[in-house]
Chain A
């Protein structure tokens, strides 16, 4: 599959995400924030970083970049879209995902190998995992506290839309220890931890993150 990885001014993990896409068996296509077309890609990854310097709010300005108009339209047609960290913030600002991400409750930047439980393996990015599988991938964020009102949280849980949950101590104050969510249709996934940093044993805590990139193929085969 052709997987587009968007680079915004201030993106940091775009090259790692492209690499993870290739290790996952796909063709990585670099997309630029000023692009007005998606170059025929089958899926899109919005990588981590500090797009537009996190000015105003994380993801608030990126959300209105030309490429995001295309990404939002494609997501609404069902294209798989994965937002990692800053990408998750952009997806919330775009209203493709409910809720918002605010500053960590302990006010410090976090950088840890984080244990997670994959709770929903029916998305295009988690099909390679078992439901309930426990994985360790990198978490690094300053504004990773997931929040939404109680009604939204209950709906997310009730509809099985919590994709991943933090295990152990809550690393950033996220409500109900939510690390990732999906939209109603299940094609858009936002995740605060970084699976693209856990795709090779040499660097990172292991290869537990690779499933997010191999899942795309499994979904197509299924």
Chain B
């Protein structure tokens, strides 16, 4: 089992009011040294079986069609393999233990 991760970010030239709001809050909390924040979205797609090139291509199509809006956002796709402990944890959770 694997997770395919799609990271979606506003394009660099697009104003990101949410990132700006978060940036503005940091100094009020006593954090300093951060000069910019961009806020994006992370999608974790759990897929059955092996992550082949075809699967990745399909995920890219999903990202282009629905997960991102290419007019204002860029996306990146990468694969995260589950560790043995994570898989075991999931199996136990499914068994209700």
Residues of A within 8 A of B (CB): 56-57, 60, 64, 92-93, 98-100, 102-107, 145, 147-148, 173
List residues of chain B with CB within 8 A of the CB of A148.
Answer: 71
Q: How many A-B residue pairs have CB under 8 A?
A: 35
Contact B66 A103 (CB under 8 A): no
Contact A92 B21 (CB under 8 A): no
Q: CA A173 – CA B18 in complex, angstroms?
A: 14
Can you give 29 A-B contacts (C-beta < 8 A)? A56-B66, A56-B67, A57-B69, A64-B66, A92-B71, A93-B69, A98-B71, A99-B71, A100-B69, A100-B71, A100-B72, A102-B10, A102-B14, A102-B15, A102-B17, A103-B17, A103-B18, A104-B17, A105-B17, A107-B17, A107-B18, A107-B20, A107-B21, A145-B15, A147-B14, A147-B71, A147-B72, A148-B71, A173-B15
Contact A60 B71 (CB under 8 A): no
Residues of B within 8 A of A (CB): 10, 14-15, 17-18, 20-21, 66-67, 69, 71-72
In the complex, residue of chain B having the shortest beta-carbon distance to the beta carbon of A106: B17
Contact B66 A60 (CB under 8 A): yes
List residues of chain B with CB within 8 A of the CB of A173.
Answer: 15
Main secondary structure of the interface of A (DSSP, over half): loop
| Interface-centre pick from B15, B69, B72 (highest chain A CB count, 10 A) | B69
Q: CA A103 – CA B17 in complex, angstroms?
A: 7
Q: CA A57 – CA B40 in complex, angstroms?
A: 12
Q: CA A57 – CA B68 in complex, angstroms?
A: 8
Q: A202 CB to closest chain B CB, in angstroms? A: 36
Q: CA A148 – CA B71 in complex, angstroms?
A: 7
Q: CA A134 – CA B18 in complex, angstroms?
A: 33
With A107-B17, A107-B21, A147-B14 already in contact, the answer to whether A102 and B72 are too (CB < 8 A) is yes
Q: CA A92 – CA B66 in complex, angstroms?
A: 13
In the complex, residue of chain B having the shortest beta-carbon distance to the beta carbon of A175: B15
Contact B69 A105 (CB under 8 A): no
Q: A146 CB to closest chain B CB, in angstroms? A: 11
